Structure 1
């Protein structure tokens, strides 16, 4: 039986409207291109920055198993109360996939607890994304590497906590390397950061990039189990000597 996973793709959706090159590559928005690569069953939603509550109402979040996040120009415009709601949903089990410049989003920085800063350069250079953990589910169906003819460079040092699992590492034509596929657990939720996806390159039309995101959605889906109980445990599981 195919697993039912409800996915919401959140996209800032500013570049496609203001940058002619981005608009030509993604006429319906990057979120639409990302959605084309998903094979999971379940409800698929889009949410964008300029919608009320950024499209992330309580109803949407409570019915989202995995949230995909792309942002760049307007991280600061994302309301703190929405970030807090997303954060709480991740801790309670919702998966989160953060793409490319989403490394500087409020939600990713809140979950990482670091600056999430890095080096960058736009020089139309080749990127080779090496699979360094071929047994990981996110690498299923991917060869030794993914080669992108042109991408924006991100370089180390990437100020993030040590990943729980490192799945992919990028090499760039200019010589830099970067941890480009990073897995984390936060509370009951799983988080995956995936590096490629600059808005002026057709990266989200690449079949292997789409495959990675599709695999990541399946990996990040919530585990079907009872939510842990926290707080005061007044009733012990076994009798305690001296208290009877």
Structure 2
């Protein structure tokens, strides 16, 4: 999170002092801390979202009214998840695409994806999240850890996590197994393989053993990003 301004050498302009910006590769989120904005677009929330902490809406230039967002998703936001979701909609015609965001924080990712993909009046996407503690979230959220997800097998079309589920675990193997288990056959998992506990060698070993066990290939999104994805057979 960068306050007041960002590096001009990266091509971004100085921001007014009452705003903060989070740079996510080629995507920028603006959050107005005073909750005042113009040209807002109303946001419609589902009945199962009791919090509505961003119900102030969006401006046309994607300035979000409401609380400050949580940091994260820098690498994963390099992925066009709208494109990923459209691909899943083609793969699963007639189904509402269920999305799980492990370690969702305030639920920004799931909220944004729903707003983008449900804009035609249909519920094309339904997002859910997990956190390790009770937090207000813009999407329905359950308290649990990534190593032990309390969902049935084959529950979600798309499972996404930043380092929230991997950074502080010494058991990436369990996180991978749980993400795989709750993903529907034909669905996708996108994650960051970053940890403050496991070495890079241990992370690579866990991913290699997972590939061998399930006869799949974990794809790296881009060299150096430590961001990966795989499709469940």
Q: What TM bracket, shorter-length normalisation? A: 0.3 to 0.5
Greater helix share, 1 or 2? 1
Say which one has the larger Rg: 1
